[in-house]
Structure 1
Amino acid sequence: MGQLSLSTVSAAGLGVTPPEQFKVPEGFEVELLHEVAADSEGSWVSLTVDPKGRLIACDQSGGLFRIDMSSGEAKVEKLEIDFVGAQGLLCAFGSLYANVNARDQPCGLWRLTDTDGDDQYDKKEHIIPLNGGSEHGPHALLVTPDGKRIVMVAGNNTNLPEKIAHSRVPKVWEEDHLLGRMPDARGHNANRMAPGGFICSLNPDGSEVELIATGFRNPYDIALNRQGELFTYDADMEWDVGTPWYRPTRINHVISGSEFGWRNGTGKWPAYYPDSFGSAVDIGPGSPTGIVFGYGAKFPKKYENALFISDWSYGNIHAVHLTEDGSSYSGTYETFATAAPLPVTDLVIHPDGALYFAIGGRGTQSGLYRIKYTGDIAAANAAEEVIALSDEAKQLRELRQSIEALHVDDEDLPVSAEDAIQLAIENLSHDDRAIRFAARIALEHRSPAAWKATVLSQTDSEAKILGVVALARTGDKADQADAVKALASIDLETLTASQKIDFLRAAGLVAMRLGDFDAAQRDVLIGKIQGQFPSGVDSLDRELAIMAIYLNVPGSTAAVVAALEDSPSQESQIHYAMALRAAKEGWNMDLRRQYLAWFNEMATARGGMSFGGFLDNIKKVTVDGLSDADKKSLVEVLAKPKQTDEAPAGPPREFVKEWKVEDLVDVVSDESHRPDFANGKAMFAAATCYKCHRMGLQGGILGPDLTSAGGKYSPHDMLVSIIEPSKVISDQYGSTQFLTEDGDIITGRVINMHGQVLNVMTNMLDPSSLAQVDRESVIQTRESQVSMMPNGLLDTLTAEEIADLVAYLRAGGNAKHAIYTQPVASR
């Protein structure tokens, strides 16, 4: 990677971020093409390339600008047409399409045309009116793979178009929370309900709108790969950080009829629900903006085939390397370009083979840049392993697409309705999750009367479960008894953990959609799940806890309180606390005291802006349900604890030693020592690793996921990373130092900005605590040589405890790993 140099700027402020401050892979070069004049050109938020190879940009609060690069320099002209605030631009079908999302302007999709051939757009048509004004409004546009239609994406504050000719998503969306949800503790989007953000397609004249997918938060852009598959980069809700309903920014593979489970407040669906399609690649905290595949770029193949995505708040362009995963995709990502600040808004691949991108938005300093490859492409390609496309994956995609062709009304089917139902049912139990998803959606487009009996009589448990999901979503109260009977016929002991989750979701949907269980049905379902909790599988245990509390399973309250206390993960603890607010069975004073005392223990826990409010609101529901006598008996635990910034998250541990790597190398590498899994897991919590890092499904998201660390790093390297965190700092987790004209030095990561104010996260253990830096006061910026990971994390642990911790890391948190099961070496 190139090195970030110290850049000294005038006391007038940072200005546009200079190219020499960028870090990019070896062989790439960043050029600043144009520093946007704030007073006359605004702050650019969208880009497109016109048929003559010129760029068109739009100011968030102002007009359209055309940039001609043919002379080697950026020649910028403001287009004459009166137009404001497009957050999506597309040159296609002889027109400029602009998706307006601005306050005090008619929002939605506009078509601009040049009617007199003078190279100026002079006619504008409002072809799809939409509400806007919020940043979660109408966004990007692209042309469908067949070149005949336009695809459009919009955030969750955008209402669906008034006229929808067809919906590939069955129009049966609901909130679907068995124990109920709670709105955001700060009131954000409290009244926004399903279906959330959406993607649709339309004819060039705006007619025949077709809804493709729903359940997004706020994706800004969309992209098509060479196979014609659609992708987007969806936003997180950063105020949720630290809670179980937090979902990181993520790459979604957008298949026909898909639902991605955004709901407001605590209600986001987990990715493992069978009726939520989930993510292809989880990225982490950020603010998604423009995305584009590198096709056509004069880059090494690795990057030409990458999906480039922009993170506005953290100032990154990531390169996502997608790989075929059955009929869908998974993948990895790397930071491709970064600087501070770098509020990237949009990017395009230009016919000249370079990547062009704009920074700006929210009134911040805007600029236009270009990234070129100046190295030896042939040598770079020779050094990279080329992964050939799989014939098997192609066949699976073709099968999925043949099923997706059934996501239409009966009169538009390519086959008979009977054949459509047969194909769907045959694939409900397919090994490929995307094919199962497509098959269920195909069923939901047909009348349940045509398939209910067949699907509920399936011998395959997965097919029957997903059939019940489809029936719950599209049937009526008369179907309730048959749905429960079908679930009752399934032996849970034969199911995988994932299938058990599907079973529990199916049962929950039946209760919510078709009618609550009667006493006999409850007894049957209680018999199914009694003794299953805890299973040791975090995702399954979360769903078992919800269902057990809903059914009033005897002993469930005590079991969930025990899980609340035993789980080392802050997220799982909060999940159980949230579920317990609805528990009615088996409470006694000791259990209530344990439960309420947990809220006091969480007083020093840290999370996003809504984190503390969520905990307060969960506790309030419980306290409001207590009698006056109970409140009097519990007065000690009901009193709010005194909070100090220095209060530890758990019991304090005594200082042992300021450990050095050389002190511990032999200890952690000793193969004659049998490591203790439980102690290693406990030390992972004691060293506060869960605050920032994830192990499996548990832990934080501000630092790297450590689940696979054992396959990448030796015991020695692990010690170096923990004891000497500043020795090697990943680009993704690096920070910047800002020196102000007052002599202050602020070190951290820029995570948000508005106008000239940068919001800088200075403490990864307290992500909601931000320092504000005025760009105008900055006189120097440089890459920090100090990691944001604290020093001394092991200094309260003994050598044996550290050995168990390192073994736990090497095992990826897996108690069945060979580290714990293989014979130990003799001394």
Structure 2
Amino acid sequence: MSKPNDRYGWTCVLAVTLALTAILSSFVSADTATPADQIQVPDGFVVELLYSVPLEQQGSWVCMTEDPQGRLICSDQRGSLYRLTLSKDGMPSAVESLNIDIGHAQGLVCAYDSLYVIVSGPAAQGSGFYRVRDSNGDDQYDEVTLLKKFNLTSTSTQFRSVRMRMQNMLISSGHGPHGVCLGPDGMLYIIGGNHTLIPNGVAASSPYRNWGEDLLLPRIPDAQGIATGIVAPGGWVVRTDRDGKDWTLVCGGLRNAYDLAFNADGELLTFDSDMEFDVGAAWYRPCRILHLIPGGEYGWRYGSGKWPEHHADSVGAVVNVGFGSPTGITAANQAEFPARYRHAMFMGDWAYGRILAVHLTPTGSTYQATFETFATGKPMAVTDLLVHSDGNLYFVIGGRNTQSGVYRIRYTAAIDSDVSTKSSKGALAARQLRRQLESSVISREDRQLAIENLNNPDRLIRYSARVSMERQPLSSWKQAGLDEYRTTASIEAIIALARSGDATLRPDLVQKLNALSLQQLDDSQLLAALRAYELVFIRLGDASESQQQSVRDKLVPLLNLRGPAVNRELCKLLVYLQEPLVINAALDRLASSQSQEDQMYYAFILRNIRTGWDLQSRKDYFAWLRLAHTKYQGGQSFQGFVKRTLADAVKTLSPAERTAVADVIRGREEVASIAQETERRKFVHNWQLDDLRPMIGDVDHGRSLERGASAYRAAQCNQCHRISGVGGNTGPDLTGVGNRFTAMYLLEAIVTPSKVIADQYRNVQIATSDGNVITGRVIASDNDTLTVRTHPFATRSITVNLNSITQQKLSSVSEMPDGLINTLTKDEILDLIAYVRAAGDVARPAPENK
């Protein structure tokens, strides 16, 4: 029985929702959709508005598919299905409402003489997966069969606040079941948002299994209550047959990806959304393009719990895009487009009114990518897109009661004859090996193959090898995992054992990790080892005090000697272990960091350490939190995270400490070192070359070299490069580059550092006889050894015996990290280039663009 307050709360929610709908409707134009000539596309392409949807009669359209006759079937977000028949000239000759009891679709696909529909709303029997058929051959759908019911979470009911109930209810309705596509294996793939429960009846043998929150430190829930209580796996992908009988859970850990599609290589990709309320916090993850593999874990967790993508038990992004609202996605390999775009994937962004062309480059068994804005308009709220059998790209705009239209993009110039794919033989072989490891049929030979490939240099192959092992009975591989001696393979085996075993394994696994020569590991190996420690403690329980001390002794000497990601993980582990020495090390990182997100991270973890503080470090810490509260900016939940961090930290204070720092907390006492802090930077955009190329001519006009110097430091250029005698020496001296290179060349070197790498600055990849794979820069050598620096910011190096080297090759990846300019604005990037071309002399005018 509902309580009176509950009934009143939901009545208010309903009333406010209806009022909002009425307000939104009043702002929608009664005219046509955005004219085609107001949509920008690359040269050679033309945009045509095929149909402007009458909003009052046919609603706001959010998805579409092509039927076997080449017609378009579309769905109103809150209404019926419609069918557009195209005439010979490609224009609609008929638009009809399908007279059948189904709608509210967010996913459509025609296959097996059926229309498969993902309902996300109250149509038919509610949210679910439906098969729709024409039973009598009269070209009218007349049979609807529910194949699987989808249920949403009910987290919105836990909030007393009507506003928060309403907010979470609306989010749940938009984070339900979404897209569906037909795979090259003849199976149907469905993607669900993070408010959608896993469908009942998925096979226990599914590749994605044994998930958990897997957080070492307590999390802070979202201050707005968004998704609070929704635990792993969050968003997911399932696979089923044409009759909807057999269901397999493919992967999880997504947030709210709307669509999915296979590329020309038969690999599945999606475009996942960000949580914009997290902006400014350490755990903000931008919209991401993901390669979805069987067993893949993508690390979404609610609140501050989102995993960093370097976790060895997760799959990182192909590319981070930045802010946006991902919608439809399609492969372009069947488009009558130039090769550059025929090799691309097209993805819609509702919030920014654009279609992205994503250019994938095979890298081992997965991809790296760049992206560009292919089409944009105002307004152009893209909801879905497809490549039609006529070779053109069709897209629809609309959603949330906005004006809809159906468009076509054609290429009108001559098309090149290149029909090749970008995949090399090596990439093809890597994908085949990964797919073999992902196979559901596991033999004795496959078990051995999995063990062998725990040491593969390809991250996704290692990942799939570990997942393959975890799908087998622990008894069949436990001893092999414990006996593993190859460094990388041993770490992967420990992760598998921690995820699959019980507390009796903990002493052995801690001992194996402690036996590793951590200082000799490169950053990727060290990150994996640190994650293995975490999983041992998370999954198998707290270690004994002697075991914890042995881990402290291994980790403390590494503090602040490696790159940012390693330092974060080290400090997190040492906070968990309550090691007092981590306090000043983390405060040093907090003080020296150039980004607000990095500072937030160290403040967040330090709230958990109870002892080892002195009064000054306490004051420094709380003064920073005061600074963050009063001056720093972020998404709607940022200040809530700061307040909760403060509240948790206060709980660790003794009564005497509370009295001593009370004035700092209240802002009555100023801490000099913190008061002098300048504003820290937050993420601005994941800059691509195409974003900046059009304005490179402005580098010589109205530039500020002082601001360029500040941007140079903010992007950490000075840590590796010297200019006019000042700075680091791990990268090339930049003093004379303004006299040698154009502004465009410098921009390319900054945005795509791996495009051209001078031989003397190339990394090497070294394989050793004990199974290690070390990547880094050779900085010294003698008759017996090589000395390798594994990260440009590392203060210690690795020594490798020449006799142990079994293979050595140059790396195609620059030591310079990607994304260093992502906290800069466009003007700051241009100022930075002008500063470099002026050889760091802020008094000298910027040189002419040669």
Q: TM-score, normalised by structure 2?
A: 0.75
In the alignment, is the contact (CA less than 8 A) between 1:550 and 1:583 conserved in 2?
A: yes
In the alignment, is the contact (CA less than 8 A) between 2:610 and 2:653 conserved in 1?
A: no
Partner residue of 1:604? 631
Report percent identity of matched pairs: 40
In the alignment, is the contact (CA less than 8 A) between 1:195 and 1:214 conserved in 2?
A: yes
In the alignment, is the contact (CA less than 8 A) between 1:113 and 1:124 conserved in 2?
A: yes
C-alpha distance in structure 1 between counterparts of 2:394 and 2:552, whole Å: 59
In the alignment, is the contact (CA less than 8 A) between 1:684 and 1:805 conserved in 2?
A: no
Is 1:470–2:492 an aligned residue pair? no
In the alignment, is the contact (CA less than 8 A) between 2:488 and 2:525 conserved in 1?
A: yes
What is the CA-CA distance between 1:275 and the residue it aligns to?
Answer: 0.5
In the alignment, is the contact (CA less than 8 A) between 1:448 and 1:475 conserved in 2?
A: yes
Structure 1 residues 361 and 799, CA, compared in 2 at 3 Å: closer, same or farther? closer
What is the CA-CA distance between 1:30 and the residue it aligns to?
Answer: 0.5
C-alpha distance in structure 2 between counterparts of 1:270 and 1:520, whole Å: 29
Q: Deviations over 1:514-538 (max 9, x none)?
A: 1111111112111211121112401
Partner residue of 2:786? none
* 44-53 or 131-140: bigger deviation: 131-140
Partner residue of 2:251? 213
Note the aligned Cα RMSD (angstroms): 3.6
C-alpha distance in structure 1 between counterparts of 2:833 and 2:624, whole Å: 25
What is the CA-CA distance between 1:281 and the residue it aligns to?
Answer: 1.6
In the alignment, is the contact (CA less than 8 A) between 1:253 and 1:279 conserved in 2?
A: yes
Count of residues in correspondence between the two structures: 685
Is 1:389–2:423 an aligned residue pair? yes
**Secondary structure at the residue paired with 2:380?**
coil
* 37-46 or 68-77: bigger deviation: 68-77
Partner residue of 1:568? 594
Partner residue of 2:657? 630
In the alignment, is the contact (CA less than 8 A) between 2:363 and 2:427 conserved in 1?
A: yes
1:635-714 correspondence to structure 2 within 5 Å: 635-640=662-667, 650-651=677-678, 683-684=710-711
Is 1:123–2:109 an aligned residue pair? no
Is 1:50–2:70 an aligned residue pair? no
What is the CA-CA distance between 1:539 and the residue it aligns to?
Answer: 0.6
Partner residue of 1:81? 100
Residue 56 of structure 2 aligns to which amino acid in structure 1?
A: D
**Secondary structure at the residue paired with 1:223?**
strand
Q: Deviations over 1:337-365 (max 9, x none)?
A: 01122110000111111111100111111
**Secondary structure at the residue paired with 1:422?**
helix
Partner residue of 1:618? 645
* 224-233 or 308-317: bigger deviation: 224-233
C-alpha distance in structure 2 between counterparts of 1:633 and 1:801, whole Å: 51
Higher relative contact order (CA 8 A, sep 6+): 1
Structure 1 residues 394 and 789, CA, compared in 2 at 3 Å: closer, same or farther? closer
C-alpha distance in structure 2 between counterparts of 1:356 and 1:157, whole Å: 29
C-alpha distance in structure 2 between counterparts of 1:112 and 1:511, whole Å: 50
Structure 1 residues 34 and 650, CA, compared in 2 at 3 Å: closer, same or farther? farther
Residue 30 of structure 1 aligns to which amino acid in structure 2?
A: V
**Secondary structure at the residue paired with 2:557?**
coil
C-alpha distance in structure 1 between counterparts of 2:701 and 2:75, whole Å: 58
Q: Deviations over 1:429-459 (max 9, x none)?
A: 1011110000000111112222122112212
C-alpha distance in structure 2 between counterparts of 1:196 and 1:11, whole Å: 34
In the alignment, is the contact (CA less than 8 A) between 2:327 and 2:383 conserved in 1?
A: yes
* 447-456 or 212-221: bigger deviation: 447-456
What is the CA-CA distance between 1:576 and the residue it aligns to?
Answer: 0.5
Residue 90 of structure 1 aligns to which amino acid in structure 2?
A: V
What is the CA-CA distance between 1:490 and the residue it aligns to?
Answer: 1.0
- Aligned with residue 502 of structure 1, among 502, 522, 528: 528
What is the CA-CA distance between 1:662 and the residue it aligns to?
Answer: 6.4
In the alignment, is the contact (CA less than 8 A) between 2:523 and 2:562 conserved in 1?
A: no
Is 1:111–2:128 an aligned residue pair? no
C-alpha distance in structure 1 between counterparts of 2:270 and 2:710, whole Å: 38
Is 1:142–2:159 an aligned residue pair? no
Q: TM-score, normalised by structure 1?
A: 0.77
Residue 19 of structure 1 aligns to which amino acid in structure 2?
A: A
1:511-550 correspondence to structure 2 within 5 Å: 511-550=537-576
C-alpha distance in structure 2 between counterparts of 1:514 and 1:652, whole Å: 42
What is the CA-CA distance between 1:681 and the residue it aligns to?
Answer: 11
C-alpha distance in structure 1 between counterparts of 2:142 and 2:345, whole Å: 35
Residue 684 of structure 1 aligns to which amino acid in structure 2?
A: A
C-alpha distance in structure 1 between counterparts of 2:701 and 2:349, whole Å: 40
Partner residue of 1:33? 50
Residue 543 of structure 2 aligns to which amino acid in structure 1?
A: F
**Secondary structure at the residue paired with 1:319?**
strand
C-alpha distance in structure 1 between counterparts of 2:737 and 2:426, whole Å: 29
What is the CA-CA distance between 1:648 and the residue it aligns to?
Answer: 11
What is the CA-CA distance between 1:650 and the residue it aligns to?
Answer: 4.7
Residue 404 of structure 2 aligns to which amino acid in structure 1?
A: S
Is 1:295–2:322 an aligned residue pair? no
4+ residue segments displaced more than 4 Å:
10-15, 385-388, 647-653, 660-665, 679-682, 693-696, 710-716, 718-721, 788-806
Q: Deviations over 1:587-608 (max 9, x none)?
A: 1111110001111222222211
Q: Deviations over 1:455-496 (max 9, x none)?
A: 122121111111111111111111111211211221112211
- Aligned with residue 448 of structure 1, among 474, 498, 501: 474
What is the CA-CA distance between 1:70 and the residue it aligns to?
Answer: 2.0
Residue 107 of structure 1 aligns to which amino acid in structure 2?
A: S
What is the CA-CA distance between 1:393 and the residue it aligns to?
Answer: 1.2
Is 1:326–2:340 an aligned residue pair? no
Residue 144 of structure 1 aligns to which amino acid in structure 2?
A: G
In the alignment, is the contact (CA less than 8 A) between 2:343 and 2:421 conserved in 1?
A: no
Where do 5+ consecutive residues of structure 1 fail to align? 1-9, 654-659, 669-678, 697-706, 722-787, 811-827
Q: Deviations over 1:51-94 (max 9, x none)?
A: 11000000000000000112533221100002120100011111
Is 1:400–2:434 an aligned residue pair? yes
* 96-105 or 536-545: bigger deviation: 96-105
Residue 131 of structure 2 aligns to which amino acid in structure 1?
A: R
- Aligned with residue 364 of structure 1, among 398, 402, 419: 402
Residue 434 of structure 2 aligns to which amino acid in structure 1?
A: R
C-alpha distance in structure 2 between counterparts of 1:719 and 1:232, whole Å: 32
C-alpha distance in structure 2 between counterparts of 1:545 and 1:339, whole Å: 46
C-alpha distance in structure 1 between counterparts of 2:662 and 2:619, whole Å: 10
What is the CA-CA distance between 1:17 and the residue it aligns to?
Answer: 1.4
* 224-233 or 571-580: bigger deviation: 224-233
What is the CA-CA distance between 1:46 and the residue it aligns to?
Answer: 0.6
Partner residue of 1:729? none
Residue 175 of structure 2 aligns to which amino acid in structure 1?
A: H
C-alpha distance in structure 1 between counterparts of 2:584 and 2:150, whole Å: 50
In the alignment, is the contact (CA less than 8 A) between 1:555 and 1:585 conserved in 2?
A: no
Structure 1 residues 797 and 256, CA, compared in 2 at 3 Å: closer, same or farther? closer
**Secondary structure at the residue paired with 1:191?**
coil
Structure 1 residues 627 and 174, CA, compared in 2 at 3 Å: closer, same or farther? same
C-alpha distance in structure 2 between counterparts of 1:431 and 1:261, whole Å: 22
Where do 5+ consecutive residues of structure 2 fail to align? 1-26, 153-171, 681-697, 721-730, 748-823
C-alpha distance in structure 1 between counterparts of 2:319 and 2:379, whole Å: 25
Q: Deviations over 1:544-577 (max 9, x none)?
A: 1101111222411121112111111211111101
**Secondary structure at the residue paired with 1:335?**
strand
Is 1:62–2:79 an aligned residue pair? yes
In the alignment, is the contact (CA less than 8 A) between 2:707 and 2:831 conserved in 1?
A: no
In the alignment, is the contact (CA less than 8 A) between 2:711 and 2:829 conserved in 1?
A: no
Structure 1 residues 479 and 11, CA, compared in 2 at 3 Å: closer, same or farther? closer
Is 1:579–2:617 an aligned residue pair? no
C-alpha distance in structure 1 between counterparts of 2:355 and 2:827, whole Å: 29
In the alignment, is the contact (CA less than 8 A) between 2:707 and 2:832 conserved in 1?
A: no
Structure 1 residues 387 and 420, CA, compared in 2 at 3 Å: closer, same or farther? closer
**Secondary structure at the residue paired with 2:467?**
helix
What is the CA-CA distance between 1:641 and the residue it aligns to?
Answer: 8.2
